[in-house]
Amino acid sequence: MADNSGKEQVQVQDKKYTAKDFSTSQDVRWCPGCGDYSILAQVQRTFPEIIGIKKENIVWISGIGCSSRFPYYMETYGFHTIHGRAPAIATGVKIGNPDLSVWIATGDGDLLSIGGNHFIHACRKNIDLKILLFNNRIYGLTKGQYSPTSEKGKITKTTPYGSVDYPFNPISLAIGSEATFIARAIDRDPKHLQLMIKRGADHKGLVFLEIFQNCVIFNDGAFDALSDKNTKDDHVLVLEHGKPMIFGKNKDKGIKLDGLKPVVVDLNNGHSVNDLLVHDESDPGYIRSTILAHLTDDPSMPTPVGVFRQISKPTYDEGIENQITEVKKKKGEGDLEKVLFSGNTWEVS
């Protein structure tokens, strides 16, 4: 059976790639100024450094939406599939050949609306997939309807009087769905985005990286406060493992826990660094990461970026492979003749 299984392929990279090795001949067709350009550039820049495997063993899967054009621009194997189904198709690719490094480019509508079911189950099963959510909080390709991450009251073509539904908090959803690596980055902070891509690439298990991505046409400026030079330091909390949670232009504000309630404290005014919450991304509990996830919903709080949570547990694909190995060890390699002739048989002469 092994003849066609693909197992013989060597995993180790034998030549050093450059960013150019990952770009295709296709014209990139996103709108000028779209945040997707930055994400593509950071992925292409990062991949030569982080992927310890040959590029033929990399597969990009996408669904439908602006972000889902991504595979066409990556010189790896790619599959532009159907709306919402990228995690399900990627699951089959990964189980079908666990040696492949499987990446998903998806958007807030694709992953969290039509594809919500596949997303939560991929997280729950801890399938070794890397999901990059391009979250622009709007439907772009269908020309500007509100999305499941749009803020309540959003005025769009389908909500002329403002949306009345509440948005998902994608990080909280990923925590609740048991993803083992959960992080956030911003398209306009390329260095940090590269770091998060590297961190995700190194993780074994389900990676969920939410990227705040600006849609210049239908939701321009949605993340300005987080990326504008003058405001970002006061609005962004950069999470770093083992470090106290400090933010602000002058590094003089911090997050402290009052019971289970996070509060912003002024370090110039009676509070010391020792009072502050220290980030522990490997905390197996759910409380710290959940508190951090919901800072985003509170306008008086900074928005965290970085790794919210990274824990280690066996992956689904690994589980399948191990079970096969164990059963083979116990029963020996399968024998078709034996299976066909099993059970109650009788002979007619």
Partner 1 sequence: MSNKNLSKMAKEKEVRNLSEVTVRFAGDSGDGMQLTGSQFSDTTALVGNDLSTLPDYPAEIRAPSGTVYGVSGFQLHFASTEVYTPGDRPDVLIAMNPAAIKKNIAELKPGGTIIANTDAFDSKNLKLAGYEASPLEDNSLEGFEVFSVPISSLTNKALEESSLGQKEKSRCKNFFALGLMYWLYNRPLEPTLNWIQKKFGKKPEYADANEKALSAGYNFGDITEVFSTRFHVEPAKLPSGVYRSISGNEATALGFLAASIKSKLPLFLGSYPITPASEILQYLSNYKEFGVKTFQAEDEIAGVSSAIGAAFAGNLAITTTSGPGLALKTEAIGLAVMTELPLVIVNVQRGGPSTGLPTKTEQADLLQSIYGRHGESPVAVLAASTPSDCFDMALEASRLALKFMTPVILLTDGYLANGSEPWKIPHAKDLKDITVKFRTEKEGFAPYFRDNNLSLPWTKSGTPGLEHRIGGLEKANITGNVSYDPDNHDLMIRIREQKIKNIVNEIPDLKVDGENEGELLVAGWGGTYGAITESVRNIRQQGYKVSQTHFKYLNPFPGNTADILKRFKKILVPEINRGQLAKILRSEFLIHVIQFNVVRGLPLRTSDIEEKIKEILGGLDNGR
Residue ranges that bind partner 1, judged by CB under 8 A: 1, 3-6, 9, 24, 26, 54-57, 59, 61, 64, 71-72, 74-82, 85, 88-97, 99-100, 117-118, 121, 320, 323-324, 327-328, 331-334, 336-337, 339-349
Smallest gap, in angstroms, from Cβ of residue 47 to partner 1?
13
Give me the amino acid identity at 296: T
Q: Which is nearer to partner 1, 161 or 341 (CB)?
A: 341
Q: Which is nearer to partner 1, 2 or 164 (CB)?
A: 2
Smallest gap, in angstroms, from Cβ of residue 240 to partner 1?
35
89/149 Cα distance (integer angstroms): 24
* Strand-strand pairing, 207-212 and 236-238: unpaired
Distant-in-sequence, close-in-space partners of 282: CB < 8 Å, separation ≥ 6: 241, 309, 310, 311
186 has which bridge partners?
212
Nearest to 39 by CA among 235, 215, 233, 206: 215
Smallest gap, in angstroms, from Cβ of residue 314 to partner 1?
16
Smallest gap, in angstroms, from Cβ of residue 104 to partner 1?
11
DSSP codes of every residue in 299-323? TTSPEEEEEEEE-----HHHHHHHH
Q: Which is nearer to partner 1, 119 or 218 (CB)?
A: 119
Query: How many Cα atoms occupy the beta-carbon half-sphere of 341 within 13 Å?
Result: 6
Smallest gap, in angstroms, from Cβ of residue 132 to partner 1?
17
The sign one gets for the Cα dihedral 220, 226, 229, 231 is positive
Distance, CA of 229 to chain centre: 26
Q: Which is nearer to partner 1, 42 or 81 (CB)?
A: 81
How many beta carbons lie within 10 A of that of residue 173, not counting itself? 22
Q: Which is nearer to partner 1, 186 or 201 (CB)?
A: 201
Q: Which is nearer to partner 1, 112 or 239 (CB)?
A: 112
Smallest gap, in angstroms, from Cβ of residue 202 to partner 1?
21
The sign one gets for the Cα dihedral 247, 149, 174, 128 is negative
Q: Which is nearer to partner 1, 114 or 277 (CB)?
A: 114
Smallest gap, in angstroms, from Cβ of residue 125 to partner 1?
9
Smallest gap, in angstroms, from Cβ of residue 141 to partner 1?
12
Do residues 82 and 32 make contact, with C-beta atoms less than 8 angstroms apart? Answer: no
Torsion angle (degrees, nearest 10) of CA 332, 335, 339, 345? -110
Q: Which residues of 276-291 are buried (b: 16+ CB within 10 A; e: fewer)?
A: bbebebeeeeeebbbb
Q: Helices 35-50 and 190-202: crossing angle, nearest 10°?
A: 50
Smallest gap, in angstroms, from Cβ of residue 130 to partner 1?
15
Q: Which is nearer to partner 1, 70 or 168 (CB)?
A: 70
Q: Which is nearer to partner 1, 34 or 59 (CB)?
A: 59
